[in-house]
Amino acid sequence: MMKLLLLLSLVALAQCDIRRVPLQKGKSLRKQLKEHGLLEDFLKKHPYNPASKYNHVFTATESYEPMTNYMDASYYGTISIGTPSQDFTVIFDTGSSNLWVPSVYCKSLACSNHNRFNPSMSSTYVSTNETIYIAYGTGSMSGILGYDTVTVSSIDVENQIFGLSESEPGYFFYYCNFDGILGLAFPSISSSGATPVFDNMMSQDLVSQDLFSVYLSKDGESGSFVLFGGIDPNFTSKGIYWVPLSAETYWQITMDRVTIGEKNAACLLTCQAIVDTGTSLLVMPEDAYNRVISDLGISSDDEISCDDISKLPDITFHINGYAFSLPASAYVLNEDGACSLGIENMGVPTESGELWILGDVFIRKYYVIFDRSNNKLGFSPLS
């Protein structure tokens, strides 16, 4: 199935290195603690605390996964697979459903500078004869499926099916600073019918609630996380606005309309949108994009003067009776004095029709709760 994950560029940035040079990756704190057998004790004594004023204590079945914010363009964390564990950085992607990582069988250039899973080094690996192919908006992978223990933060998911890439054609993944992708959408869109990681967390009773929540920091700051099985009350002080899902595929919802300032624009008589942590920008169908650009008074090249940010109107998404507004400071990207619009033209419709994608530009303004028990999304405004 053609995937919606665009991992779009900020002008030419994307989640990958802007200079098209492989990153020099050092060991994370999590990896160092794990290597010395100290990670479990550390997590018990130091529950996730994005700022000192926060004191929420996470239970054993509420497990946070810290994520690195790479230039506000991508957010990724570290998981491990196998026994003994092999570590990988992955995008936690609510716009797809499969877990895959590079493997030692992969000879593509894109695999040459990333961690590769070696099945022969894991005593718990179980092979299959099944294959997998996934096409994303900016790249693709193909390979085989296998089973092993996957550890996400402090949660050990046994017998998790995942993809081992044998081919990652092109250059896109080569320049990306993550190894693979962990999909958090519904099983219905999973390639090869593979059970998603969070579905196994639920079925194996590894989380106290069948939901997870996401906080994405801005301006490259630390503190981003996925919290599996819980809601952090420190991020919901302004209330939670619940929206029912319109489809159990992506995290898809119905928008009533979209306004630019006081003008009705683009989405006039309802339209469908997905909330996607794996997409950097706001992505719109072509007609809607052209209408928004026109109403904003921006030229088609999307380049704007940083001095004009204060003059631009809010973009407001009217969803389930609520108004979710984005100021220009949120949808205009300022990179060292060079400003561009954080909005992208979808172009060709997806297999699911003309969907809007509410990517990281939108999610950074809200603490988002992905509730599988009730098939709904919760949004709590951030200051």
Q: What confidence tens digit (pLDDT) does each residue in 232-253 have?
A: 999 999 999 999 999 999 999 9
pLDDT of residue 41: 55
Residue in 87, 93, 199, 302 annotated catalytic? 93
Distances (CA, A) of 325 to 12, 246, 302, 315: 26, 21, 20, 6
pLDDT of residue 182: 98
- List the structure tokens of 66: 């810290």
| Sign of the alpha-carbon torsion through 162, 165, 168, 174 | positive
pLDDT of residue 298: 83
Which of 62, 338, 105 shows the shortest CA–CA distance to 225? Answer: 62
pLDDT of residue 35: 56
Q: Are 256 and 238 in contact (CB under 8 A)?
A: no
Q: 298-347, pLDDT tens digit by residue?
A: 876 667 889 889 999 999 999 999 999 999 999 999 888 889 999 999 87
Same CATH fold assignment for domains 29-233 and 236-381: yes
> 180 or 27: whose pLDDT is higher?
180
Residues 270 and 254: their CA atoms lie apart, in Å, by 7
The correct answer on CATH 2.40.70.10 for the domain covering 29-233 is yes
Residues 176 and 318: their CA atoms lie apart, in Å, by 34
Residues 115 and 222: their CA atoms lie apart, in Å, by 23
CA 143 to chain centroid, in Å, comes to 22
Report the mean per-residue pLDDT for the chain.
Answer: 85
pLDDT of residue 11: 30
Domains of the chain, residue spans: 29-233, 236-381
> 283 or 25: whose pLDDT is higher?
283
pLDDT bin (cut points 50, 70, 90) of residue 348 is low
Residue in 148, 199, 232, 276 annotated catalytic? 276
Q: What is the dotted CATH code of the domain comprising 236-381?
A: 2.40.70.10
Q: Is 93 a catalytic residue?
A: yes
Q: Is 295 a catalytic residue?
A: no
pLDDT bin (cut points 50, 70, 90) of residue 263 is confident
Question: End-to-end CA distance of the chain, in Å?
Answer: 37
Q: 169-192, pLDDT tens digit by residue?
A: 988 899 999 999 999 999 999 999
pLDDT bin (cut points 50, 70, 90) of residue 349 is low
Residue 21 pLDDT > 70: no
**Residues of the chain with pLDDT > 90: what percent?**
66
